[in-house]
Amino acid sequence: MFASRLADVAGQIDRNFETILSAGPDSLVTEAMRYAVGGGKHLRAFLVMETARLYGLSDEQSITAATAIEAMHSYSLIHDDLPCMDDDSLRRGQPTVHVKWDEATAVLAGDALQALSFGLVSSAACHPDATVRSDLAATLAGAGGWTGMVLGQAQDIAAETASAPFTLEQIIEMQGNKTGALIEWSATAGARLAQVDPTQMRVYSKALGLAFQIADDILDVEGDAEKAGKTLGKDADAGKATFVSLLGLQGAKDRAKVLIADAEAALDGYGAQADALRQAARFVISREM
């Protein structure tokens, strides 16, 4: 169920991006944007569209918000890979945007994708009610900006030169911002689109987001770089404190399992309708990339 639904969502998102970008200017920046949004699993889009289904919304009613979060996520990856940030040359098994083109093109493509994400959630295609669109845009700004993902990225950079390695509590806070904020927005967007209380999905998403990052730390240690499609082992080489360095490899795996159980428990009230979301939680700690 989960694998087929994830693939179905990914196909819908890829086609929607192609429609959107084909309507724009034929430019190098557009080419770089198209390149950056391709090749991913689109897990965040899946969370938007699958949680929307819990509340009776069709894919057509949620795809615009789902495309918006993938635009925001892709922007963050482009900028995170830049030499002034993580300085990565590989993403999703392909050269990063600044390697394939140049830094200026990468910065502009990232800027354009971030702007696109807000344009999408603010459009009538996203929701007929302007109040809902405003809520989605405001919460996306919080998740992606200086109180969310950008804050987490700044904390991650600060950790590299800190006089002492981050504590477990500091890592949890940092990753809750850097990785968790966009996952939380994704998992609560369906409720926002349906105009219902997103609290329960927020519980699910917080546990899911932290488990996702722990799985990343585990993959950085024992993953296959070819399957991951990116450089591994950089955290250890940089001497960063991670969930693995603080909890040990088995301890990190055990913590991730507890978090996934918490995420699944948060879905108890939704019955079999939430099975794909439960499977998504299990996927997070079993993935190879």
Pairing mode of beta strands 94-95, 90-91: antiparallel
Predicted confidence at residue 92, as pLDDT, reads 87
SS3 state of residue 275: helix
Contact 187, 51 (CB under 8 A): yes
Q: Report pLDDT for 77.
A: 97
The answer for residues whose C-beta is within 8 angstroms of residue 9's C-beta and 6 or more apart is 42, 45, 46, 49, 50, 59, 66
Over the chain (289 residues), the average pLDDT of each successive run of 10 is: 95 98 97 96 97 97 98 97 93 94 98 98 98 98 97 90 88 94 98 96 96 90 61 58 88 95 95 96 81
How big is the chain by its Cα radius of gyration, in Å?
A: 18
Q: Which residues pair with 90 in a beta bridge?
A: 95
Q: Residue 25 — left, alpha, or beta (φ > 0 → left; ψ -120 to 50 → alpha)?
A: beta
Q: What is the residue type of 223?
A: G
Query: Residue 162: what pLDDT?
Result: 84
Query: What is the per-residue pLDDT for 229?
Result: 52
Res 164: pLDDT? 84
Full-model pTM? 0.93
Where in the chain does DSSP place strands (E)? 90-91, 94-95
Instruction: Report whether 280 contacts 10 (CB < 8 A).
Output: no
